[in-house]
Amino acid sequence: MNYRIRPLLLGEAEVPNVLDIFWSLSTDRGRSSVPILAFLLIAPDGEAIVVDCGMRDPQRAIDVHRLGPHSCSPEQSLPAQLRLHGVRPEDVNTLILTHLHYDHCGNCAQLPNARIIVQRTELMAAAAPMGPAALPIGGKSLFYDRADVAELVDPLWDRVVLIEGDHMPLPGIDCVLYDHTHTPGHQCVYVRTEKGVAAIVGDIARKVDLNITQAIPPGIYYDLEKMRRALADISRRADLVLPTHDWDTLERGRIG
Ligand SMILES: [Zn+2]
């Protein structure tokens, strides 16, 4: 069974380029505007699945996470982006979250009928993050938003499906846990398509050439050995790698 994939553009963020490179060992001190993407998967029978769902509020990225400028135009809202593909928010049955950073899980409540699939390890890490409060960027929350966690553990709790390890939520879709990579419970979503297996890698890879082809890990990770093994495994399994924050993904990720 092959799925069609449609990237959804849910906002933009200005970030330092050193995030792309292991330990920030880069001579590039520039900043770039990157997309905040999510993905709509459409099954042959029309069933709609969404992977990740963007940020709750661009201003919180600045106020809470102490990051650079973020934006989300009305056309970049989750409902507006789904509408481009003829899908209503209430039609989405399944939402899979790669991880719980603020730019990946801020709009779960906008999909009123979706079960929400997340690794249990990730929800635990998000609820009690280990960020040093004195950090000028990220701070105590370390890019997890208390508002997102509060929503998942209370009003949305009955729809949350906690998984532990690898899991196939639907035929042709595989969630694979790569723990302690970009986050403690980060998962990749492998999707069968007419172009082979597409890997929705969240933030384990930021750039295909740099992080996958050249095998240089990106800047943020918990365990370097696990990160390197994850990148190698993704490279082995996937015919096509789709990072969240790469403009190339908008075109390459449109499959079927
Ligand atoms: Zn991200």
- Cα separations in angstroms, 105 against 23, 28, 102, 148: 26, 29, 6, 7
Report field, pTM of the whole predicted structure over 0.85: yes
* Per-residue pLDDT tens digits for 72-127: 999 999 999 999 999 999 999 999 999 999 999 999 999 999 999 999 999 999 99
Q: How far is the CA of 220 from the centre of ligand 1 (A)?
A: 10
Q: Are strands 160-163 and 115-119 parallel, antiparallel or unpaired?
A: parallel
Q: How far is the CA of 44 from the centre of ligand 1 (A)?
A: 29
Q: How far is the CA of 225 from the centre of ligand 1 (A)?
A: 21
- Cα separations in angstroms, 53 against 9, 38, 153, 166, 177: 10, 6, 17, 21, 19
Q: How far is the CA of 23 from the centre of ligand 1 (A)?
A: 17
Q: How far is the CA of 30 from the centre of ligand 1 (A)?
A: 18
Q: How far is the CA of 45 from the centre of ligand 1 (A)?
A: 30
Classify residue 71 by burial, with Cβ atoms within 10 Å: 0-12, 13-18, 19+.
Answer: middle
Q: Which residue has the higher pLDDT, 136 or 108?
A: 108
Q: How far is the CA of 81 from the centre of ligand 1 (A)?
A: 18
Q: How far is the CA of 99 from the centre of ligand 1 (A)?
A: 9
Q: How far is the CA of 251 from the centre of ligand 1 (A)?
A: 18
**Residue/partner pairs of 87-95 with CB below 8 Å, 24 or more apart:** 87/40, 87/42, 87/48, 91/48, 92/48, 92/49, 92/50, 93/47, 93/48, 93/49, 94/49, 94/50, 94/169, 94/170, 95/49, 95/50, 95/51, 95/53
Q: How far is the CA of 195 from the centre of ligand 1 (A)?
A: 25
* Per-residue pLDDT tens digits for 172-196: 999 999 999 999 999 999 999 999 9
